[in-house]
Structure 1
Amino acid sequence: MAHELAAKGKTVCVIESGGFEETPEHEALNAVEASGSLNDPAIRQARQDWHSPQMRFWSAEGQRYGVRNRALGGSTVAWAGKVAPFADIDFASRAWVPGSGWPIGRADLAPYLTRAADHLALGPLLNDAAFWAERGMDRPEPVAAMTAFDSHFWQFARSRRVVTDVTRMGDDFRQEDLPGVTVLTNATVARLFAAEGRVTGLECLSSLGGGQRAFVRAQRIVLASGAIENARVLLQSGFDRPGTATRTGLPAIGRYLMDHPTVRVGTVTGEGCAAAARLFGFFPLRQGYRISMYAHGLALRPGTQEQHSLPNMAAFGSLELSPQDPIAACGRLARFKSRAVWSDLGIVMRNAGVIVSAVGRKLLESPRVPDRLKQAIADAAVWINADFVAQDYLAKGGSRKVDALHIELIAEQVADLNNRVTLSKVRDALGLQRANVRWELGETVRAALLDGARLLIDDLARAGISGLEPTAAVRDGDTAALVARDMAHSAGTTRMGRDPRDSVVDADCQVHGVAGLFVAGASVFPTIGHANPTLMILAMAIRLADHIVATPPPAAGTGEGLFFTHEIDTSAEVWLVDQPELDAADERKEHVS
């Protein structure tokens, strides 16, 4: 949004709760309280196993729900770069999906999806079977044999600066000098102020402690802090109570929390592993001189969803890489520290290509190699063997030997007003009430996951995939034994709608009854589909930026009853609240100036 608004001549101040990098102190501010099944040891362990490998300080004990990164760039600090647009059916009102139906449609977002794809350096937005035609291929026989599922493709946002990595928005943002954009780091927003039906300002606390606080006058504020923090700030500000935002308040704040519940369907080993890895493999697509990489999975057909009264869902593969790492073996031999020389020599000889690619990775990360040459080499590698490149990224230059392929099923969660974010009595280091999260699947979603898993297993059999061993819960049809983890795709707590009684923002993402106060992010999604949400988040944010540019700020009122001290003034027209908090005085002066 800062990019888009600055390009249109707007002055912008971004308030960031973290710093330029994550720290344990910032991570402590992400801690949430949780109730219900989120305290189940099995679920907590599943979350720890899935999320922690990408994180520096995150733990399932502290963030008992969700994955938040309190630093400039937010979740792109640690994400895998995986994106896809929502399908047409995700915007539709479906009789079998309670709460479904957006006030806007896929067509309304089409131009913004294209602009969002450009921000993420993506290729053409081909996420269904049309991809095969674009590549000049027929649909593969295994997919053509399926009846319930069909091809689905995800893309990966590849960094324009570091060709061996995905997009890290904070790092990219710091390399640019955007006119009219100011960034405040270590500034946590404690509450927002409104008077006479419009937003008037906000209060910040120093994320570094010490009791520093500042007040900001603002005519337009955008909350862009994720589903947990967006709801938390609005609740701390009292917008749920009668008379603050609307005469009756906004009771939906914090409600309808959704994520993508994901379960392991089973594991493929042995002779069938290679065929399964090809089915859930990676494919390149050339567009001019640019090569883009797509991951192939399987999505439930719209007709199957309606026939079986199921929410949207998709299957993807997760590789289990061998612990026999040829890079480590090579290092032991080079340092004369191998305790099993012949074994290590065998590993190295059998994986000569891995050694060569590790040298290539070092070459691509060297500052002495021109960027255009790096990009050309990386694109060539994707074109020659996209699977190898994907495995290299997962292994960070280590082993790429695949021991097994796990098949995961990711599903749309039905919006439930009882799944919600509330304020806990426990306070964080800044004296603010922590978020308390209730996130339950419910028997309907659990049964849908089992039905989807059975349909998937049948389709994989039709496709000729052998060696699949279902998990015990799937094999036995035991909904209670399903261990479903969230995918860090929190959504829905400030949902979009027309009625303030069951929604928080209108179709333009403005908070009902509060002129000049907007919300960006997945928290405004009425439903969540199955796709990773970042591309949709960006498209919605760009659409909001255009709306702000086209709409004059709300007329100023008297602001009676408001008294501001220690004000910050950057003459910003728009404030983007990105999980806020303030620096020490000297650093604050430097950033503001």
Structure 2
Amino acid sequence: MSADRSPVEADVCVIGAGPAGALVADRLADAGHDVVILDAGPRFDESDRIERMERALRPAYDRPDVWGMGGERDAHSNSGERPYPLNHARVKGIGGSTLHWQGMVMRLHEADFETRSRHGVGRDWPISYGDLRPYYAAAERELGVAGADDNPFGPPREEPFPMPAFAPSYSDGLFAEACEQLGIAMHSVPNARNSEPYDDRGACVGYGTCQPVCPSGAKYGADVHVRAAEEKGATVIDRAPVQHLDHGADSIRAAAYATPDGETHEQEADAFVLACGGVETPRLLLLSASQDYPDGLANSSGLVGSCFMDHLFAGMGGTVDEPTRQNHVGFLTSESHQFYDADAEIGPFKLEFFNYAGPSPVETALEGDEWGDALLDRLRTDYGTHVGLGALVEQLPREESYIGLDPDRTDGHGNPVPRIHWSVDDRALRTLERANEIQRAVLEEMDAEITWAVGPENTGPAYHHMGTTRMGEDPDESVVDPDLRTHDLSNCWIASSSVFPTGGAVNPTLTIAALALRTAEAVDDALRSDWLV
């Protein structure tokens, strides 16, 4: 990591040190290219993770506090029909949001790439599942995925997962009895956490605080590949938020970035890879508007920032008259893709069986005034009898949802903050209602007392930012081509969930990783081709 944060000689400048940027940087450094990574946040000391876990357990701290989110650096605004709490689930720093993610890594289904052709809604991807399939396998090896080939509804696979799946939890067994009666198939969840030692990292030791922090390092974080890239010669400059991209009519010349001491530098390179996520990537392009691109860089299509998507959450839970939290597990071990098949009216969704429903012992203790034996009696009675189910629901790409620039509010550097205009389509609302129906049926079969529900009226985001610089063949209808190179700029690629034409109903990180590996190949080919000279 550069101590003085000065620019370096570089073939490639990668902006963002999350999973996409980290994997691209590692692959390109391994190919012998000089790589520099710029990231807006700091490098976090691994030895601080126990302290961060303890902070996460204390009710006085909110999730953004655990990783230092908030303030002028991370300011944003909302203008849509539904508020979007952006900072609740993102991290700026080396490793990005994988520092606090839940770690579930599924492949998109084959149908997800053909939503328009199959159902007449959304958009088709310019690539197929078959095109991405080998990169999915490579991404599973790179991240280290524990899983089993037991999902009868999932896409075809070509090889076993790198590690065996985690065993079903105690509460999974309670759900399984009800699901068997209802004809609902359960199967394992692929997890980017070690079920056994892998890649010089130990197996999961069960802290149970995976979200927002894994103290042991068993859960994958993109800082793993940042360090690997550094070992191969890459330079990392942290706390270096990029202010704008200096460019000509068809290429980027330099990334102008600020430093904590108030200076601004320009990092030049032959190729640039934007890996800032679905919000900051379009924001950077919009901040880089010029005479050549008055509506924002790489925005001849007018789609930069447009069609912002997230997965919507549907959930329901309550209590049963028996213990549910023996051998507590802090992540999901069972799910069901049985209801993933979609049509024009009802979208795909995956059903999740929670291992961590209900309040923690600390929260339970703080709910009353008892002490001593009375408190212990209440904990034995009230704690550990909760059950809950969740679901991720697809949201269609629509121009009514977008990321723009706030005309009135600026960050600490005087730049307009991102303004989020988020709305939910009617198909997603119908799908949320359908998910709730199935969740209610399972809980009633378990004789649970239902105490909470999240559905069409009070749904919230899963914090999977997608769709704001989508890929496609037609430059008038997309921002990047199938290799994720921008249509407008010859030396700029975007490696991010922002390129997703649609989002499906599974967690996006494995697809981000697969696309990043594919992009690294494209950048490597371009650097070795005639365009450079």
How high is the TM-score relative to the length of structure 1? Answer: 0.66
> What amino acid is aligned across from residue 418 of structure 1 in structure 2?
E
Deviation at 1:341, TM superposition (A): 4.9
Name the CA distance, whole Å, in 2 between partners of 1:473 and 1:72.
33
Q: Deviations over 1:454-487 (max 9, x none)?
A: 24434666xx43325275786xxxx4xx111111
Task: Summarize the Cα distance change of 1:170–1:555 in structure 2 as closer, same or farther, 3 Å threshold.
Answer: same
Which residue of structure 2 lines up, in the alignment, with residue 250 of structure 1? 301
Name the CA distance, whole Å, in 1 between partners of 2:427 and 2:284.
31
Q: More relative contact order in 1 or in 2 (CA 8 Å, sep 6+)?
A: 1
Q: CA RMSD in A?
A: 4.0
Tell me the secondary structure at the aligned position of residue 246 of structure 2.
strand
Which residue of structure 1 lines up, in the alignment, with residue 279 of structure 2? 228
CA contact (8 A) 2:470 2:478 kept: yes
Task: Summarize the Cα distance change of 1:295–1:27 in structure 2 as closer, same or farther, 3 Å threshold.
Answer: farther
Q: Deviations over 1:165-192 (max 9, x none)?
A: 3223326744875222001111111111
Task: Summarize the Cα distance change of 1:418–1:209 in structure 2 as closer, same or farther, 3 Å threshold.
Answer: farther
CA contact (8 A) 2:339 2:349 kept: no
For residue 420 of structure 1, the aligned residue among 395, 402, 413 is: 402
The answer on 1:72 being equivalent to 2:55 is no
Name the CA distance, whole Å, in 1 between partners of 2:108 and 2:492.
26
> What amino acid is aligned across from residue 257 of structure 1 in structure 2?
F
Name the CA distance, whole Å, in 1 between partners of 2:247 and 2:223.
30
Q: Deviations over 1:38-57 (max 9, x none)?
A: 34xxxx7xxxxxxxxxxxxx
The answer on 1:433 being equivalent to 2:469 is no
Q: Percent identity?
A: 23
Name the CA distance, whole Å, in 1 between partners of 2:149 and 2:297.
41
Deviation at 1:86, TM superposition (A): 1.3
> What amino acid is aligned across from residue 74 of structure 1 in structure 2?
G
Which residue of structure 2 lines up, in the alignment, with residue 270 of structure 1? 320
Give the length in aligned residue pairs: 450
Task: Summarize the Cα distance change of 1:162–1:19 in structure 2 as closer, same or farther, 3 Å threshold.
Answer: farther
CA contact (8 A) 1:326 1:347 kept: no
Which residue of structure 1 lines up, in the alignment, with residue 246 of structure 2? 193
Q: Deviations over 1:278-300 (max 9, x none)?
A: 9xx979xxxxxxxxx97111224
> What amino acid is aligned across from residue 320 of structure 1 in structure 2?
A
Name the CA distance, whole Å, in 2 between partners of 1:106 and 1:168.
25
For residue 107 of structure 2, the aligned residue among 66, 85, 92 is: 85
Deviation at 1:229, TM superposition (A): 0.4
Task: Summarize the Cα distance change of 1:472–1:491 in structure 2 as closer, same or farther, 3 Å threshold.
Answer: closer
Tell me the secondary structure at the aligned position of residue 522 of structure 2.
helix
Which residue of structure 1 lines up, in the alignment, with residue 149 of structure 2? 126
The answer on 1:219 being equivalent to 2:270 is yes
Name the CA distance, whole Å, in 1 between partners of 2:458 and 2:317.
15
The answer on 1:496 being equivalent to 2:471 is yes
For residue 103 of structure 1, the aligned residue among 126, 129, 145 is: 126
Task: Summarize the Cα distance change of 1:543–1:404 in structure 2 as closer, same or farther, 3 Å threshold.
Answer: same
Deviation at 1:496, TM superposition (A): 0.9
For residue 299 of structure 1, the aligned residue among 337, 359, 380 is: 337
Pairwise mapping of residues 524-539 of structure 1 onto structure 2 (< 5 A)?
Answer: 524-539=499-514
How high is the TM-score relative to the length of structure 2? Answer: 0.73
Which residue of structure 1 lines up, in the alignment, with residue 220 of structure 2? 167
Name the CA distance, whole Å, in 1 between partners of 2:120 and 2:384.
38
- Segments of structure 1 that go 5 or more residues without pairing to the other structure are 45-59, 284-292, 330-338, 352-398, 559-593
Name the CA distance, whole Å, in 1 between partners of 2:329 and 2:523.
39
CA contact (8 A) 2:319 2:451 kept: no
Task: Summarize the Cα distance change of 1:270–1:494 in structure 2 as closer, same or farther, 3 Å threshold.
Answer: same
Which residue of structure 2 lines up, in the alignment, with residue 13 of structure 1? 36
403-412 or 502-511: which moved more?
403-412
Which residue of structure 2 lines up, in the alignment, with residue 518 of structure 1? 493
- Segments of structure 2 that go 5 or more residues without pairing to the other structure are 1-23, 45-65, 155-159, 169-174, 195-200, 206-213
Greater Rg over alpha carbons, structure = 1
Tell me the secondary structure at the aligned position of residue 314 of structure 1.
strand
Name the CA distance, whole Å, in 1 between partners of 2:391 and 2:153.
22
CA contact (8 A) 2:310 2:503 kept: yes
* Structure having the larger proportion of residues in helix: 1
Name the CA distance, whole Å, in 2 between partners of 1:36 and 1:16.
28
Task: Summarize the Cα distance change of 1:405–1:209 in structure 2 as closer, same or farther, 3 Å threshold.
Answer: farther
CA contact (8 A) 2:270 2:532 kept: no
